[in-house]
Amino acid sequence: MGKIPLTRIASRIAKGNSGQSDLSPRGEEIASAGANLFSPTGRRWPRSGRMRGRAAALAIALLLPAQAFAAETQGLPGATMSLWWGLPFAGLLLSIATGPLLFHHVWEHHYGKIAAGWAALAVVPLAVAFGIPTAGEAVLHTLLTEYLSFIMLLFALYTISGGILLAGNIHGTPLVNAGLLFVGALLASVIGTTGASMILIRPMLRANDNRPFNAHVVIFFIFLVSNIGGSLTPLGDPPLFVGFLRGVDFFWTTANLWRETLFTGGLVLIVFLALDVVLHRREGGMPKIKDPTPDTKVRLRGLANLPLLAGVIGAILLSASWKPGISVSVLGVGLELQNLVRDAIILALAFLSLKVSYKSHRQANGFTWGPIAEVAKLFAGIFICIVPVIAILRAGHDGALAPLVALVTSADGQPNDLAYFWLTGALSSFLDNAPTYLVFFELAGGDAHHLMTEAASTLAAVSAGAVFMGANTYIGNAPNFMVFAIARHRGFKMPGFFGYMAWSGAVLIPTFLIAGLLFFG
Structural domain for 225, as ranges = 78-287+301-520
57 inside domain? no
* 274: CB partners within 8 A, 6+ apart: none
2 inside domain? no
Could you tell me if 489 and 366 are in contact, meaning their C-beta atoms sit under 8 angstroms apart? yes
Segment 211-232, tens digit of pLDDT: 888 889 999 999 999 999 999 9
274 inside domain? yes
Could you tell me if 238 and 19 are in contact, meaning their C-beta atoms sit under 8 angstroms apart? yes
Residue 510 CB neighbour total at 10 angstroms: 12
Instruction: Report helix, strand or coil for 327.
Output: strand
**Spatial distance between the Cα atoms of 69 and 235, rounded to a whole number of angstroms:** 30
**Spatial distance between the Cα atoms of 226 and 211, rounded to a whole number of angstroms:** 22
Q: For the chain, first and last CA: distance in Å?
A: 22
Could you list the pLDDT tens digit for every one of the 521 residues in the chain? 443 333 343 344 334 333 333 333 333 333 333 333 333 333 333 434 443 443 333 333 333 333 333 333 334 788 889 889 989 988 987 888 778 767 878 988 899 999 999 999 999 999 999 888 888 888 888 888 878 887 888 788 889 988 888 777 777 789 999 999 999 999 998 888 888 888 889 889 988 888 888 889 999 999 999 999 999 988 788 788 778 767 788 889 999 999 999 999 999 999 999 999 999 888 876 666 666 666 667 788 888 998 998 898 888 888 878 888 888 888 888 888 988 999 999 999 999 999 999 888 888 777 888 878 887 898 889 889 988 888 887 787 788 878 877 888 777 778 899 999 999 999 888 876 776 787 788 778 778 899 999 989 999 999 999 999 999 998 888 789 889 988 988 888 889 888 999 999 999 999 999 999 999 98
* 214: CB partners within 8 A, 6+ apart: 172, 208, 492
CA 142 to chain centre: 14
H-run or E-run covering 296 = strand 296-301
**Spatial distance between the Cα atoms of 390 and 518, rounded to a whole number of angstroms:** 30
Considering the entire predicted model, what is its pTM? 0.69
Segment 146-200, tens digit of pLDDT: 788 878 887 888 899 888 887 777 777 899 999 999 999 999 988 888 888 888 8
Could you tell me if 309 and 161 are in contact, meaning their C-beta atoms sit under 8 angstroms apart? yes
Characterize the bridge pairing of strands 296-301 and 333-336.
unpaired
What is the phi/psi pair of residue 245, to 5°?
A: -65, -25
516 inside domain? yes
70 inside domain? no
**Spatial distance between the Cα atoms of 185 and 225, rounded to a whole number of angstroms:** 4
- Residue 41 burial by Cβ neighbours in a 10 Å radius (0-12, 13-18, 19+): exposed
17 inside domain? no
DSSP assignments along 231-251, one per residue: -SSTTT-HHHHHHHHTT--TT
Question: Packing angle between helix 148-162 and helix 370-394, nearest 10 degrees?
Answer: 150
Closest alpha carbon to 188 in 241, 140, 227, 220:
227
Tally the domains of the chain.
1
| CA 271-274-279 angle, 5° bins | 120
Instruction: Report helix, strand or coil for 328.
Output: strand
DSSP assignments along 393-457, one per residue: HHTGGGSTTHHHHHTTB-TTS-B-HHHHHHHHHHHHTTS-HHHHHHHHHHHTTS-HHHHHTTTHH
Could you tell me if 24 and 148 are in contact, meaning their C-beta atoms sit under 8 angstroms apart? no
Question: Packing angle between helix 417-428 and helix 497-519, nearest 10 degrees?
Answer: 160
62 inside domain? no
37 inside domain? no
